[in-house]
Structure 1
Amino acid sequence: MCDQTFLAATFGPCDSCGNASPLMNIYIKSEAINYCSFCVEMMACEALQKGETLQTLKAESENLKKKLEEERNKLTDVELHQLAEKIEVVGALSIKTRRLLKGHGNKVLCMDWCKDKRRLVSSSQDGKVIVWDGFTLNKEHGVTLPCTWVMACAYAPSGCAVACGGLDNKCSVIPLSLDKTENLAAKKKPVAMHTNYVSGCTFTNSDMQVRASLMPREAGEPIFDWANLDPLSSEGLLFVSSGDGSCALWDVESGQLLQSFHGHTADVLYYPSGDAFASASDDATCRFYDLRADREVAVYQKDSIIFGASTVDFSLSGRLLFAGYNDYTINVWDVLKGTRVSVLFGHENRVSRVRVSPDGTALCSASWDNTLRIWA
């Protein structure tokens, strides 16, 4: 999401030897322990059987993965594009830039629509969060945060607040007011403090709960934390996280890993039906995973596309997939047939975010060229 690399390490006493050193967070039976690298190696060696080495166990693990993949492929009877052969081809799309939002002084890193289908919020490397009127292009609110690189923002379902976060390691909620002269920065309420920077945030179905994603994360560890404004239950919600070359499906209520999809490190987004999700990755592809089939069912790519994809979103019907790329374009894919329907040009730098409006009539894109564009 940014053009700089940040490394975060936990330093403290090892749970095994007690020495102060960089720690590795390991989950054993859902309980986290913090071991230094030496104790991790010792623990691994103590569990070895006679004649076993770490190398032989790694080889055995790879063989088991291959066998699982072979068994999974045996259940694959037909590809998605083959099922869609008789479906009518999507006609030519006439999507153009209808609004150009200017006001940020640096890279726009994130944006989100309000449920009223008119307003939207954006965050930028300039340290500002701006609330826009997408019809008039007016800036309704502008909040300057104490740090630059505001990497995440989200609109509350009620439209009465926005959440944001970034390199300050905080997830904060800002109540919005009809009084244009009111100092919103003074009303900002940090609802969670993290040890790593916040790379994404979103509200659940209520204003009372915010979900924040943290980067970087340890392998096998959920990247989402729940910041509660009010003690509400999560009601067994599911979410997908990405990183370390895989996408993982988690149960929020139990914290358990339900499914894992390897071979991609990506930005992910749920399909409208909730039975699948798509991902975008630096390998210049977008991929479509079906939770019921427990596998990848489609890959969206072309030989002419050599730059990575950074963000994806579905049309309201789920037939189209919008993907923002690092070559400044937005590619529109036919989800069922796997073909590219259109290419949207206009941005002058990397596209960092694309989101379809709640009513499906417009698409907003944020870019490192300091602007946002509304397409329709």
Structure 2
Amino acid sequence: MTFSALQDAIVSQRDVSEQLKARIASQKDIMADTSLRTLALASVPPAPALSMKRRAVLKTQRAKVASIAWAPDDVHLLSASQDGFLILWDTQTALKEQAVALRMGWVLTCAVSPAGDIVASGGLDNVCTIFDLKQKTNEVSVPVAHELHGHNAFVSDCLFRGEAEVLTSSGDGTCALWDVQSECMTQSFEGHIGDVMSISFSKQNPNLFVSGACDDLAMLWDTRTGRSEQTFTGHSRDVNAVCFFPDGQAFATGSDDASCRLYDLRARRELAAYGQLSTTSPVTSLDFTHSGRVLVVAYDDNRIHMWDTLRGERNFCNTDKRAGG
């Protein structure tokens, strides 16, 4: 087959693929006889009014805090700052319990293991670095326990799966699962055509995770097959944040297009969208409350919005737009 013929075949198959996707979307629309918001507005009372007040200020150096991660005890918090340190905080006292000096200051993400004594970081050095806090030599020094090399671009996000495995996402367009002790990549997940910015494991099924990327897509992956099981569209710009719903049957995304969207794995479609008429600021991060009734969203303009996930209504917006406010 000549190169020209190969190009024609690719174009032809792409057209067939687009036609199939359009038919699938049409069938989904036919089956969707109502919307989550319409149903909720008719039958679900509004969520109680929420408020937010500052509990404490955790002060690092003046450099940007790029990432935070809660420890399993919901008391300790890990921060990754571009002054070159990971810091473990006691949020009840607002005191630092441990500092970890990083070899490279351009950190982008951090994570805490389920037991709470192993932490990870990743950034512009393309490496996920693991530290065992039990091996600390003093209050500001913890030796590197493991380094996970294999990505060809920055490490944007990292998550522990148990104590022995770490999942990473990268600007090279892939996600990777690693065995910590051997420092080996056990699986690579390829399918995005842009930087992968965020990942989230299902708490109900740790074989499943979702990724969001700069190709405007979110993808559901199964580590047992190593493949993308579902692809979710709807955003018009980069997907910066993803988070599983507490029951593991749905997930939320946040995008540079200023919207958040709720997708259901069983329906294989979008259930709701939030915020697209309220702000033009990109979404930087998001998370659900324990019940899932409220989606808490941080935006690039330093505002925090809380959305009623059923009724689609904004329940709260902070008025202090100062960074860190």
- TM range, normalised to the smaller chain? 0.7 to 0.9
Task: Pick the aligned partner of 1:157 from 106, 109, 114.
Answer: 114
Conserved 8 A contact 2:110-2:157: yes
Q: Secondary structure in 2 aligned to 1:135?
A: coil
Conserved 8 A contact 2:75-2:91: yes
Superposed, 1:179-218 pairs within 5 Å as 181=138, 184-204=141-161, 206-217=162-173
Conserved 8 A contact 1:153-1:164: yes
Residue 227 in structure 1 maps to residue 183 in structure 2? no
The whole-number CA distance in structure 1 between the counterparts of 2:300 and 2:104 is 25
The residue aligned with 2:226 is 255
CA deviation string 1:200-255 (max 9, x = no partner): 00111x111111111141xxxxx321121258999970111122121111111211
Q: Secondary structure in 2 aligned to 1:95?
A: coil
TM-score scaled by length of structure 2: 0.85
Aligned partner letter, 1:332: M
The whole-number CA distance in structure 1 between the counterparts of 2:136 and 2:166 is 25
The residue aligned with 1:283 is 257
Conserved 8 A contact 1:119-1:132: yes
The whole-number CA distance in structure 1 between the counterparts of 2:172 and 2:302 is 25
Conserved 8 A contact 1:171-1:193: no
The whole-number CA distance in structure 1 between the counterparts of 2:46 and 2:140 is 52
Q: CA deviation at 1:344?
A: 2.2
Task: Pick the aligned partner of 1:72 from 28, 33, 38.
Answer: 28
The whole-number CA distance in structure 2 between the counterparts of 1:248 and 1:291 is 11
The residue aligned with 2:5 is 45
The whole-number CA distance in structure 2 between the counterparts of 1:75 and 1:304 is 29
Q: Secondary structure in 2 aligned to 1:71?
A: helix
Q: CA deviation at 1:297?
A: 0.7
Conserved 8 A contact 2:136-2:142: no
The whole-number CA distance in structure 1 between the counterparts of 2:277 and 2:101 is 42
Superposed, 1:222-371 pairs within 5 Å as 223-230=174-181, 237-243=207-213, 244-264=215-235, 265-266=238-239, 267-346=241-320, 348-349=322-323
Question: In structure 2, do the counterparts of structure 1 residues 327 and 285 end up closer, same or farther at CA, with 3 Å as the change threshold?
Answer: same
Conserved 8 A contact 2:166-2:178: yes
CA deviation string 1:96-146 (max 9, x = no partner): 111111113311111111111111101122222111110111111112212
Residue 96 in structure 1 maps to residue 53 in structure 2? yes
Aligned partner letter, 2:207: L
Identity of aligned residues (%): 35
Q: Tell me how many residue pairs correspond in the alignment.
A: 301
Question: In structure 2, do the counterparts of structure 1 residues 328 and 146 end up closer, same or farther at CA, with 3 Å as the change threshold?
Answer: same
Question: In structure 2, do the counterparts of structure 1 residues 45 and 312 end up closer, same or farther at CA, with 3 Å as the change threshold?
Answer: farther
With a CA cutoff of 8 Å and minimum separation of 6, indicate the structure with the bigger relative contact order.
1
Question: In structure 2, do the counterparts of structure 1 residues 334 and 182 end up closer, same or farther at CA, with 3 Å as the change threshold?
Answer: closer
The residue aligned with 2:201 is none
Q: CA deviation at 1:57?
A: 5.5
Aligned partner letter, 1:45: A
Q: CA deviation at 1:58?
A: 4.9
Query: Post-superposition, which runs of at least 4 consecutive aligned residues in structure 1 deviate over 4 A?
Result: 56-61, 230-236
Q: Secondary structure in 1 aligned to 2:47?
A: coil
The whole-number CA distance in structure 1 between the counterparts of 2:15 and 2:146 is 50
Aligned partner letter, 1:330: I
C-alpha RMSD of the superposition? 2.6
The residue aligned with 2:193 is none
Structure of greater Rg: 1
The whole-number CA distance in structure 2 between the counterparts of 1:225 and 1:60 is 31
Structure 2 unaligned residues grouped into runs of 5+: 188-204
Conserved 8 A contact 2:124-2:155: yes
Question: In structure 2, do the counterparts of structure 1 residues 179 and 168 end up closer, same or farther at CA, with 3 Å as the change threshold?
Answer: closer
Conserved 8 A contact 1:322-1:332: yes
Superposed, 1:133-144 pairs within 5 Å as 133-144=90-101
Q: Secondary structure in 2 aligned to 1:164?
A: strand
Aligned partner letter, 2:220: L
